[in-house]
Amino acid sequence: RGGTAEREVPFAQPGSLTRVYAVASGKGGVGKSSVTVNLAAAMAADGLKVGVVDADIYGHSVPRMLGVDGRPTQVENMIMPPSAHGVKVISIGMFTPGNAPVVWRGPMLHRALQQFLADVYWGDLDVLLLDLPPGTGDIAISVAQLVPNAEILVVTTPQQAAAEVAERAGSIAVQTHQKIVGVVENMSGLPCPHCDEMVDVFGTGGGQKVAEGLTKTTGANVPVLGSIPIDVRLREGGDEGKPVVLTDPDSPAGAALRTIAGKL
């Protein structure tokens, strides 16, 4: 909409009833997107109106994980988001040809996020989840500017080295005066398929460490909202666009994710 004034972000207006969660992680590959899509699907299955903004500009994977194959359409001057499993989704990948990489810089990312929040027709959402890129980059700062009331959900693995990076990503909340809603520990052990024992592939304690560290730096209580085990069904669900919380809600990972969704 060249030349026209920027539309306001509805979720940032006083009186907005939409809860906005920005899902953050220190580094990639810890399951941030998997957690985002499963929480979204679980909340939609519970009857909430849910939207997801795939703001992981360089690693956008939300549409595949949710099985969204529709494209956004334009009605008047609004973008209509496609949806799957009752979740409305907008992703940078929907606006780039084929599998082309995104080579944008800060200002363009900010503009894209602004449009995703203000120019997409979301309707009355109960919850909006933002899948952030890993780390403490431009997008996290843009989110803080565009939706200051967004609460941060930090995803980490149990690994101590991963926890340190995740804590750094979460501590940006101090500078931006945002609330951290809690920490999710993912890949918390692999239940042995042959016996009842848990194999701690990535060690233990990362979630607790991040929660304690962030409680200290923010001065507010940051809880561990839950731990999700390593589960082949979760990975398969992501590859097939069928979130495990829907296909196998009582599997260990599915149940853990549904419990976390219930706390948000």
Binding site: residue ranges?
26-33
SS3 16: coil
253 binds ligand ADP (CB under 6 A): yes
Contact yes or no for 82/122 (Cβ under 8 A) = no
3-state secondary structure of 224: strand
Counting contacts by CB under 6 A, is residue 148 touching ligand ADP? no
* Residues 165 to 204 in contact with ligand ADP, rule: CB under 6 A: 186-187
By the rule CB under 6 A, 228 interacts with ligand ADP: yes
Which residue of 18, 22, 31, 45 would you call a contact of ligand ADP, by CB under 6 A?
A: 31
Backbone angles phi, psi at 169, to 5 degrees: -60, -40
Which of 54, 167, 185, 231 is in the footprint of ligand ADP by CB under 6 A?
A: 231
Asked whether 148 and 189 are in contact (CB, 8 A), the reply is no
Q: Which amino acid is at 205?
A: G
Phi first, then psi: give them for residue 62, nearest 5 degrees: -60, -45
Residue from 238, 243, 252, 254 binding ligand ADP (CB under 6 A): 238
- Per the listing, tokens 């299955």 go with 45
Q: Within a 10 A sphere around the Cβ of 80, how many other Cβ atoms? A: 18
34 lies in the site for ligand ADP, by CB under 6 A: yes
Annotated binding site for ATP: 26-33
Stretch that binds ligand ADP, among 69-77, 91-99, 198-206, 226-234 (CB under 6 A): 226-234
Residue ranges in contact with ligand ADP by CB under 6 A:
25, 28-34, 59, 61, 186-187, 228, 230-231, 234-235, 238, 253
